[in-house]
Amino acid sequence: MQITLADAGKRFNRDWIFKSLNYTFLPGNAYAVIGNNGSGKSTLLQTISGATELSTGQCTWSKSTTKISTENVFRYMAIAAPSLELVEEMTAMEFLHFHSVFKPFVAGRTIKEILELVQLPQAANKQIRYFSSGMKQRIKLAQAIFSDVPVLLLDEPCTNLDRSGYDLYHQLIQDFCKEKLIIVSSNDEEEYFFCTQKIDIRDYKIN
């Protein structure tokens, strides 16, 4: 899947978050959107996902030369972000099953196996509201990384993870994400260590 930003700009009231951004994200590549806190990294990621409209310019999505409408682009993407809400009354098994109804997981992986891969097998039947913040982040990564979609969007993917959680994240990326188009929004190099391209959102500010 290819994503193209053409003269893209986003503002809130009179303040421009970014402007005159021209960029093409190509299939099978990994990109990092970097910049200090509050610089607009997450806003750009939301624009790329189709969740937020641009103020100027265009964002277009295409797969095998076929253009994808804004209304359908969510079918081709999975996202893990601090703003993503979990259904905390559900158990881990129930939540991942619920997610899979709308966005199936990669073939050959059961929910039980996915929980083992994110090191949460003992929490399979535990309500998410009783999870630690790190456990909740692992569930967010599970539903995003194992979704059967060509695009993976990661907004500060190691939020609330300890050292072992970072190591797990690195392993999941290396083992299961090689064929995906990945865009990571972060100012932590350990979260985008594998990205070969970097976009500094501060380069697209209005002085």
pLDDT (tens digit per residue) in 124-159 = 999 999 999 999 999 999 999 999 999 999 999 999
The Cα–Cα gap between 23 and 7 comes to 9
φ/ψ of 48, rounded to 5, equals: -60, -35
Q: Return the CATH number at 150.
A: 3.40.50.300
Range of the domain at 126: 2-204
Residue whose token pair is 């399979």: 124
Tokens of 21: 């951004």
Tokens of 1: 């899947």
Domain count, the chain: 1
Please give the model's pTM, rounded to 2 decimal places: 0.94
Q: Confidence band (pLDDT; 50, 70, 90) for 207? A: low
DSSP secondary structure letters along 4-55: EEEEEEEEETTEEEEEEEEEEEPTT-EEEEE-STTSSHHHHHHHHHTSS--S
Q: Residue 63: is its pLDDT beyond 60?
A: yes
Total residues belonging to the chain: 207
The percent of residues in the chain predicted with pLDDT above 70, rounded, is 99
DSSP secondary structure letters along 151-184: EEEEESTTTT--HHHHHHHHHHHHHH-TTSEEEE
DSSP state of 200: E
Give the three-class secondary structure for 47.
Answer: helix
